[in-house]
């Protein structure tokens, strides 16, 4: 069986990670998972939020948003509505937690990195593209901070790599990296965040229609681990050259 | 090894589900998982939100909140701050999705049930207690709607049962139904929502410190499935008598 | 003439004041006036709001809210609407002023007590039940603070007792402690807050339909004073044993 | 004993009610109680709020606000803060209720009058000046609506007059119409709204320091009734000529 | 050709600048441009906003608002809506910038002046009346601050005068100081802020229908410069006597 | 004298207008003025806002925003702060007015076009780049609407072209198209919106430090007209091929 866009079930969409997309940010990446495009910037500031002062530890956080016309029909701006929706909150928190899983806060010192992930074009998997791209922006920002001596010499705040991918069951077939059209039809939808060594940072599976059985869950996890390994290779390749 | 409160790793806290706690609501339950107490009401209204009108299908949604002093130190009221936090949004959405997994919307007809889950006292597992208690309140509300002929004769909107439990790894030991003190110390924290037949509605696992391996994930899922089966028994027993 | 629920005009509904309803709060009470149930917690924190710092005086304040399904038809959450309504503000302020009337701020020292009064079930008189219950929670919180030496030895921050009751004229008859159904039909509605020695802290009377004459006002005040004396007895009795 | 400004205890400050202060509004008054100046406009619109449609009855409501520098030190604008404070809500509701007490909604027909009371300069008693001035603006607006045939011929929506005054106990002496300096020093503060026939629409008494006794309450009510009678005379005189 | 109100094209409406309209504010003016009436107060506080601390320089800012019934049909209060509209923001910023153009911040020292411009009655040109009136209130506030030694002896924070006027093209004729009816019909609408020496602080021209040509722009600027000179004369006259 | 980036005073930065940047929007452009990059999408919806219904006329509006790290230091998201700032409002309104100046609303029919202009990278002149780019996105959206018969056959909603440029005086020299560093140092700053035939839609000049004289204003206008002619050529060229 071939998918809408001709992929095999266990195939990612074309992934691209363009570094240096902003002249202002300490790290920046335009990440594409097929037609899904997310602009990720990493902003370093010295100092930490009040509740963390004096601990000697840094902080990493993230904000996710969609441009109003990143989707097929225009959505209202959350700034205009005056409040952030639940989905936006949820994804921002997921990205933050995912990146914090590979940070040594002591090594970062009392510095903060904010990841902004703005979806320019959405075609399914925006949150997983955001995690994957934000990791690369974060890596660049930390390299910058090391050069600027904001991070102390010899300290390695980054303890590993992290990437994310969606998996789902469509017409009873487990698929990797769903595009929007597949996502809408999925019976089960799961977002998985893995470290480079194949362990899990987040597993979020939701039955959209029918509850899913343990063996379906297992099949999805297998697919996700493979997909994250491919994404980690793409991250490594993107980061291979000096900016 | 015994736990803080003397339980074995695979043991739930004492669970109670007191029905009929509100004279106004169509369904209401005070659910306790140990010292965690959540007041769940189910409100039935005829009609559905605008985007669902004319479909012949109903809707079920949920709102979760914590009373300011449900926790050890008083938290600000979200109404006073003027906005709902990300965590509140996230949990409200989780409860709504979990209950919708066991609803036949056609059978419900164009009626809406709102589940309000207000935490009176928190000691870990408030969201899982909320799902478990809200199911019972929902069941009572649907029975009420059947008696009132709001749901048409012969229709069965409830297609199964649903309950939820937290699991986590503390000091390398997988534990069922974490209390607050355990939750704080957990390396990995997972909330699992199951139907009565042991399938999954939601699986949300988060590495709090170290990423978790596949076998840890499996051990946690095993525990959760057992816990949900026990909770389902408690729900069945609570619903056994007519109010 | 007997009332809807069989009471005489000058009779309170059954009053109960259950202390120790929260394991977290320094003082807590579930107060019932008939079917009206309000959960009151008193939270003690060292320190005072900025405008009071350095005065050597403490502060007592209150927040009132209704759970969405505490009423016959579900109301929107104020947190969801993003703002607190006028009625909520008004009652929160009333409760705070009422309790401050029996506090010696110098004796309290630079400590703050926040009373949260959340209506679990409403059947008229929620604000008067809240004042009456909050007093008991406040008393327990102050005892706690004395034991913890947060209040200095020998200091007595509580200078008296305070309770509140509603009165109103229904079908030309002055009635004590209106239930919801009576409240809706009342021509005049008054809330009276008294100290234990029969003096007034607040008198808030409103003509719902016709303006009221001086002798009607006098009859209502007579009733209220009697009702508050009964409530004060209930408070005394509730506080008679050590928690 | 003479007061700060030389008045006797039972004497109002100079009262002025200038009609026709706006060329746009259907009724408008600049009311002064001494240095307290409130600009009141009455806006008539055909139609009523949704919840009142089809009842054949009209509606009257009010909004109160203070200009930022109406007080001795500048206050933040509520529009800038993004929310209306409790005190503003409370007073807006009081003014609305007070005016509705003298309206026959059937005679008004399905029309709405909004009273805007904006404090230009505050020196105590802004809410009582607002009620007193708003009544005159309302009377002019209703006359206008009668001329325009928005109110049907022969209908008299205004069933009486209404005015308001503050009373308080300062240094144990009951005083009428407190200025700001007296208000700050008052042990007890009461706002009383009366109709022209000496009956009560609202009685709101608050102990600022010590609770007050029944005879103090009586003395304050006596003063207030006298004051309102004087205000009613001023209203009658202001309305005596055609605009 | 004569205008709606009989003026010649280059004629201002009657201008009045009544000083001392508030007993609380350090400077206050009721400014009228015909039927447009704006109440301007200047509030002096010692200290500056955080971002300016330690610079030795002061700050001047402005807030503009319209009373709900200042216009022909009642507008909603921005405080009730919970947010400030774009037009209000824009005008507040314009007034602030205009006044800052004639302030020597070093001479002002670390003090802040806030100008509140509240429109009591609107008939076109509210922003230009606000700038013109606010200048006079500011001048009085600075004189006050000099007397109080808040501004150091010998310092002159005010470096010039500033006034504003609207100009527009109606039926192809350039007109000075448009009233509302003219403003609605204008093809081009321009607000010009000038200093007393005929130079420009702000030029804001907008084509309402057709774009405008360079010679039309020139004609409008000529008119505006004349108008501002007349307004400056009115300001000088108003400030001629000591309050 | 040469400028920071080597340009002559009357030279634009390199301008690029990349069409078709979004697969979802009816028109989309990535516009660059040097390092300033704005992503403009045009969204067509059938129907108009309520206040325009039944007029047979369409509507065009715009929303402008900056990504948080589009600037040198990260700014807070307006959605997180819960309100839109004055500057954002002002620019959104400017863009909307500018585009409406070249629209024949009757020809557009009862359809709405929303222009979203999101700044990806800011280096001065974001609002003028936004107007210039949004025009091209609008043109594409209207072509799309003509093909889809949403705009009736033979109707030409676009009546001309519009572009915008900033001009300013730096070190007494009038410069075209200021980059951020020049903008900060400018004594006078002006944004000018012109139609393709050299007439003005908006002229917004602000003295940042010293007021500016008439001849300076004239020199700036001369520069702006030249710049807009160049921008119009770039727009024409960008639109020359069919997408």
DSSP B12-69: PPPEEEEE---SSSSEEEEEEETTEEEEEEEEEEES--GGGTTSS--EEEEEEEE-TT
> What average pLDDT does range E45-64 have in this prediction?
97
Strand (E) or helix (H) holding E134: helix E126-147
Cβ pair C211:D200 closer than 8 A: yes
Hey, is the C-beta of B65 within 8 angstroms of any chain A C-beta?
Answer: no
Is A191 inside a domain boundary? yes
Of A92, A210, A217, the CB nearest to B203: A217
> Which of the residues A5, A13, A24, A76 would you substitute to probe the F interface, choosing the one with the greatest number of F C-beta atoms within 10 Å?
A24
Cβ pair D116:E68 closer than 8 A: yes
Of F85, F201, F212, the CB nearest to E211: F201
Cβ pair F121:A24 closer than 8 A: yes
Question: What is the C-alpha to C-alpha distance for residues F71 and F80, in angstroms, rounded to an integer?
Answer: 17
A129-185 tens-digit pLDDT = 999 999 999 999 999 999 999 999 999 999 999 999 999 999 999 999 999 999 999
Burial B19-40 (b: 16+ CB within 10 A, else e): bebbebbbbbbbbbbbbbbbbb
Chain F contact set for E57 (CB, 8 A): none
> What average pLDDT does range E191-208 have in this prediction?
95
Answer yes or no: are the C-beta atoms of A127 and A202 closer than 8 Å: no
- Chains in touch with A (3+ beta-carbon pairs under 8 Å) read B, F
Question: How many other C-beta atoms can be found within 10 angstroms of the C-beta atom of residue C242?
Answer: 5
CA distance E54 to chain F (A): 21
Q: Is C125 annotated as a binding residue?
A: yes
Answer yes or no: are the C-beta atoms of F87 and E97 closer than 8 Å: no
Of D97, D101, D199, the CB nearest to C213: D199
Is F144 inside a domain boundary? yes
Is the confidence at residue E42, as pLDDT, over 90?
yes
Question: How many other C-beta atoms can be found within 10 angstroms of the C-beta atom of residue F156?
Answer: 11
Of E25, E74, E80, the CB nearest to D84: E80
Cβ pair A211:B203 closer than 8 A: no
Cβ pair D201:C214 closer than 8 A: no
Is C5 inside a domain boundary? no
Chain E contact set for D64 (CB, 8 A): none
Is E6 inside a domain boundary? no
Is the confidence at residue B190, as pLDDT, over 80?
yes
Chain C contact set for B120 (CB, 8 A): 22, 39
Cβ pair E65:D83 closer than 8 A: no
CATH number at residue A120: 3.30.230.70
- Chains in touch with E (3+ beta-carbon pairs under 8 Å) read D, F
Paired with D65 in beta bridges are: D118
Is C170 inside a domain boundary? yes
- Chains in touch with D (3+ beta-carbon pairs under 8 Å) read C, E
CA distance F124 to chain A (A): 13
Answer yes or no: are the C-beta atoms of F201 and F97 closer than 8 Å: yes
Average predicted confidence (pLDDT) for chain D: 96
Which of the four pLDDT bands, split at 50, 70 and 90, describes residue E89? Answer: very high
Q: Is E45 annotated as a binding residue?
A: no
Residues of chain F with pLDDT under 50: none
Provide the annotated binding site of F: 87, 125-127
Question: What is the C-alpha to C-alpha distance for residues C61 and B132, in angstroms, rounded to an integer?
Answer: 35
- Chains in touch with C (3+ beta-carbon pairs under 8 Å) read B, D
Question: How many other C-beta atoms can be found within 10 angstroms of the C-beta atom of residue F234?
Answer: 18
Of F86, F194, F211, the CB nearest to E89: F86
Of C39, C65, C69, the CB nearest to B77: C65
Which of the four pLDDT bands, split at 50, 70 and 90, describes residue E1? Answer: low
For E:67-126, CB contacts with D below 8 A are 67-74, 77-80, 82-84, 88, 114, 116, 118, 120-123
Distances (CA, A) of E161 to A151, C48, C160, E37: 53, 47, 62, 21
pLDDT of residue C210: 86
Domain that holds residue D156: 15-239
pLDDT of residue B1: 61
Of F28, F69, F116, the CB nearest to A22: F69
Is E228 inside a domain boundary? yes
pLDDT of residue E67: 98
Question: What is the C-alpha to C-alpha distance for residues B171 and B216, in angstroms, rounded to an integer?
Answer: 12
Chain B contact set for C29 (CB, 8 A): none
Count of structural domains within chain E? 1
Cβ pair F79:A79 closer than 8 A: yes
Paired with F88 in beta bridges are: none
Residue A234 has φ and ψ, to the nearest 5°, of -65, -40
- The alpha carbons of chain E give a radius of gyration, in whole angstroms, of 18
Chain C contact set for B77 (CB, 8 A): 63, 65, 79
Q: Is E237 helix (H, G, I), strand (E, B) or coil?
A: helix
Question: How many other C-beta atoms can be found within 10 angstroms of the C-beta atom of residue A32?
Answer: 19
Cβ pair F211:E203 closer than 8 A: no
Is B10 inside a domain boundary? no
Is C69 inside a domain boundary? yes
Under 8 Å CB pairs connecting chains C and D tally to 97
Burial D138-163 (b: 16+ CB within 10 A, else e): bbbbbbbbbeeebbeeeeebbebbbb
Cβ pair A86:B97 closer than 8 A: no
Under 8 Å CB pairs connecting chains A and B tally to 98
Is the confidence at residue C1, as pLDDT, over 80?
no
> What average pLDDT does range B58-71 have in this prediction?
98
Chain F contact set for E201 (CB, 8 A): 206-207, 211
CA distance A160 to chain F (A): 25
pLDDT of residue D210: 86
Question: What is the C-alpha to C-alpha distance for residues E87 and E71, in angstroms, rounded to an integer?
Answer: 15
Is the confidence at residue B13, as pLDDT, over 90?
yes
pLDDT of residue A1: 61
Q: With the CA atoms of C7, C11, C14 and C20 taken in that order, what torsion angle do they form, in degrees rounded to the nearest 10?
A: 170
pLDDT of residue B61: 98
DSSP chain D: ---TTS--TT-PPPEEEEE---SSSSEEEEEEETTEEEEEEEEEEES--GGGTTSS--EEEEEEEE-TTSSSSPPPPHHHHTS--HHHHHHHHHHHHHHHTTB-HHHH-SEEEEEEEEEEE-SS-HHHHHHHHHHHHHHHHHHHHHHTTSSPTT---B-S-EEEEEEEEETTEEEES--HHHHHH-SEEEEEEEETTS-EEEEEEEESSS-B-HHHHHHHHHHHHHHHHHHHHHHHHHTSS--
Cβ pair C207:D202 closer than 8 A: yes
Strand (E) or helix (H) holding A227: helix A214-238
pLDDT of residue F209: 79
Nearest residue of chain C to residue D202 (CA atoms): C206
Hey, is the C-beta of A156 within 8 angstroms of any chain B C-beta?
Answer: no
Of A45, A65, A72, the CB nearest to F24: A72
Cβ pair F205:E207 closer than 8 A: no
Q: Is D127 annotated as a binding residue?
A: yes
| Sign of the torsion angle spanned by Cα atoms D27, D32, D33, D36 | positive
> What average pLDDT does range E107-127 have in this prediction?
98
Is the confidence at residue E213, as pLDDT, over 80?
yes
Cβ pair B207:A202 closer than 8 A: yes
Q: Which H, E and C letters describe F124-153, residue by residue?
A: CCHHHHHHHHHHHHHHHHHHHHHHCCCCCC
Cβ pair C211:D221 closer than 8 A: no
CA distance C148 to chain D (A): 28
Chain D contact set for C221 (CB, 8 A): 214, 217
> What average pLDDT does range D64-90 have in this prediction?
93
Cβ pair A213:B201 closer than 8 A: no
Of B89, B93, B200, the CB nearest to A211: B200
Nearest residue of chain C to residue B34 (CA atoms): C23
CA distance A23 to chain B (A): 31
> What average pLDDT does range B160-185 have in this prediction?
96
Is the confidence at residue D222, as pLDDT, over 80?
yes
Is the confidence at residue E86, as pLDDT, over 90?
no
Is the confidence at residue A19, as pLDDT, over 90?
yes
Cβ pair A200:B212 closer than 8 A: yes
Chain A contact set for B189 (CB, 8 A): none
Question: What is the C-alpha to C-alpha distance for residues D91 and D100, in angstroms, rounded to an integer?
Answer: 14
């Amino acid at each position: 069986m071939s998918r809408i866009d001709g992929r095999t079930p266990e195939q990612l969409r074309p992934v691209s990670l363009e570094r240096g997309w902003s002249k202002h940010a300490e790290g920046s990446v335009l990440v594409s998972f097929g037609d899904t495009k997310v602009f990720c910037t990493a902003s370093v500031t010295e100092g930490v939020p009040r509740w963390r002062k004096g601990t000697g530890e840094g902080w990493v956080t993230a904000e996710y948003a969609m441009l109003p016309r990143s989707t097929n029909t225009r959505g209202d701006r959350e700034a205009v509505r005056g409040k952030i929706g639940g989905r936006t909150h949820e994804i921002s928190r997921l990205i933050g937690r995912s990146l914090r899983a590979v940070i040594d806060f002591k090594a970062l010192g009392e510095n903060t990195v904010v990841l902004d992930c703005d979806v320019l074009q959405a075609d399914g998997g925006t949150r997983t593209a955001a995690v994957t791209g934000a990791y690369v922006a974060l890596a660049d920002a930390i390299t910058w901070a090391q050069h600027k001596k904001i991070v102390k010499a010899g300290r390695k705040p980054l303890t590993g790599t992290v990437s994310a991918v969606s998996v789902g069951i469509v017409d009873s077939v487990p698929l990797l990296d769903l595009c929007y059209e597949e996502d809408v039809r999925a019976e089960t939808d799961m977002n998985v965040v893995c470290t480079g060594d194949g362990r899990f940072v987040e597993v979020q599976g939701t039955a959209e229609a029918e509850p899913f059985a343990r063996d379906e869950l297992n099949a999805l996890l297998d697919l996700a681990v493979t997909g994250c390994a491919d994404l980690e290779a793409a991250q490594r390749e993107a980061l291979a050259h000096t900016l």
